[in-house]
Amino acid sequence: MAGADWPLAEVLSIREELDKSMHYYVHYIGYNKRLDEWVTPVRIDFTKISLPKSKNALKEMTVTTPLAVTASRPSSPDISAPATPESWVQQTSTPTSTRENGSLALKGRKRPLKMENEDSQDSAKTPHPTTPLQVPRPSGSGSLVAHNDSDIITRMKNIEMVELGRHRIKPWYFSPYPQEMVNSCIYLCEFCLKYVKSRKCLQRHLQKCTLKHPPGNEIYRKETISFFEIDGRKNKTYAQNLCLLAKCFLDHKTLYYDTEPFLFYVMTEHDAKGFHIVGYFSKEKESSEDYNVACILTLPSYQRRGYGKLLIEFSYELSKFEGKTGSPEKPLSDLGLLSYRSYWAEAILEILINMKPSEHGGDERPQITINEICEMTSVKKEDVISTLTYLNLINYYKGQYIITLTQEVIEAYDRAAAKRKIRIDSKCLHWTPKDWSKRGR
């Protein structure tokens, strides 16, 4: 029976099963889309349906028009909306569309670029041309147009399962794999990320594929953790396959075909069988907005074990080598914001807590400027200020900003630092930044 706490949900699609039972694809309003799912009628309270207001509502209802219902809550909403949402954080409810008279009105999505086929996979077909192969492109390029009616399709998860090495992973969002691959399990070669339709095809591929690590240069290794730098121009197929996989877990980025303007930093864990992908981030070769990360992902099987913060730490280590400050591309996802906030807080507190008393001796408090914190961490000024403000450490006093560290904050930092077992060791990074403006991409 429906309870009072059943959340409102939008029905995005309805399908009839072979046994004639109806299944409903629902989005829980106010929850992240990764919780969207097919439910049976027992999960829906049909006494609380509100129909779309459009005149053509009934005609449209089957597929294109969302219908509001209340449905029993997803079993474990893994995260609530961020406590203090900021303008650059992805909003959890209906992020890409607003409803007008019951139909979807679409806002500010960029048009996918023309498909580039020259480097496509050999046996699997390329994604169908109406769906963008979702590869990021630097902001500022590409045109802004209203989205077409395929939006309802891209709002729904289309892949049942991804098998990657020893992991079977349930995708969170739509990803534009070719039409013939969808609604079933996709099998990926864990080293070159080629996708095929069946385990048999994968076995055939594995007999031929000699790769035991991502392509590109290994630029970091410490114990079992390595980072490979992959040029989106030189290893286009790999980069595109990586983006297709990543799109299964990234909802909020506008994504494009073109991988050339990006470098991809793939983090792996090494064992006797090879270098297994754990996560990655992409980075524009040249960013006019000082972005040092475009998209970042820890594969779900490895999440919540500190790898996300390791990827973030690595991205700032690269910025340190470049002598620049950097920031992640906006908007951040809910989990992205949590991870960045946690990383920034630790990186800044590490400096503040380890500061020596003022050189002038006496009772003087240690002094540091925001710019010095930026230089030491490579964290961009606005992120340093937002973190200090979020932690409630910054006060304006007699014309000056004063940072006050409470015992509580110091203890929280100590606990977090003790929890963080793996860290990036700059001595293990063998990398020279390139000036892409001089080289051509």
Q: Which residues are catalytic?
A: 329
Chosen from ligand ACO, Zn ion, none, partner binding at 307 (C-beta under 5 to 8 Å by type): ligand ACO
If the CB atoms of residues 171 and 214 are measured against ligand ACO, the closer one turns out to be: 171
Tell me the residue number closest to ligand ACO, measured at CB. 308
Residue 137 main-chain phi, psi, to 5 deg? -135, 150
Chosen from Zn ion, ligand ACO, none, partner binding at 209 (C-beta under 5 to 8 Å by type): Zn ion
Minimal distance in Å, beta carbon 339 to ligand ACO? 4
Provide the Cα torsion 319, 320, 326, 331; round to 10°. 70
Which tokens go with 336?
């992205």
Residues that bind ligand ACO (CB under 6 A): 78-79, 249-250, 293, 295-298, 303-309, 328-329, 332-333, 335-336, 338-339, 342, 416
Question: Residues 6 or more apart from 137 whose CB is under 8 A from it?
Answer: 113, 255, 256, 258, 261
If the CB atoms of residues 307 and 314 are measured against ligand ACO, the closer one turns out to be: 307
Q: Minimal CA–CA distance to 255: which of 173, 371, 378?
A: 173
Which amino acid is residue 8, in one-letter code?
L
Residue 100 main-chain phi, psi, to 5 deg? -130, 120
Chosen from Zn ion, ligand ACO, none, partner binding at 336 (C-beta under 5 to 8 Å by type): ligand ACO
Minimal distance in Å, beta carbon 80 to ligand ACO? 9
Chosen from Zn ion, ligand ACO, none, partner binding at 127 (C-beta under 5 to 8 Å by type): none
Map tokens 């779309």 to a residue. Answer: 52
Minimal distance in Å, beta carbon 183 to Zn ion? 24
If the CB atoms of residues 81 and 209 are measured against ligand ACO, the closer one turns out to be: 81
CB distance 309 to 420 below 8 Å = yes
If the CB atoms of residues 26 and 310 are measured against ligand ACO, the closer one turns out to be: 310
Residues that bind Zn ion (CB under 5 A): 189, 192, 194, 209
Minimal distance in Å, beta carbon 323 to ligand ACO? 22
Report how far apart, in Å, the C-alpha atoms of 13 and of each of 25, 153, 155, 176 are: 5, 9, 10, 18
Chosen from Zn ion, ligand ACO, none, partner binding at 79 (C-beta under 5 to 8 Å by type): ligand ACO
Minimal distance in Å, beta carbon 309 to ligand ACO? 4
d(CA 59, CA 321): 59
Chosen from Zn ion, ligand ACO, none, partner binding at 126 (C-beta under 5 to 8 Å by type): none
Which tokens go with 196?
């095929």
Which tokens go with 433?
């930044």
Which amino acid is residue 408, in one-letter code?
E
d(CA 230, CA 282): 9
If the CB atoms of residues 164 and 295 are measured against ligand ACO, the closer one turns out to be: 295
If the CB atoms of residues 147 and 309 are measured against ligand ACO, the closer one turns out to be: 309
What angle do the packed helices 381-390 and 334-353 form, to 10 degrees? Answer: 90
Q: What is the dihedral sign for C-alpha 255, 259, 265, 269? A: positive
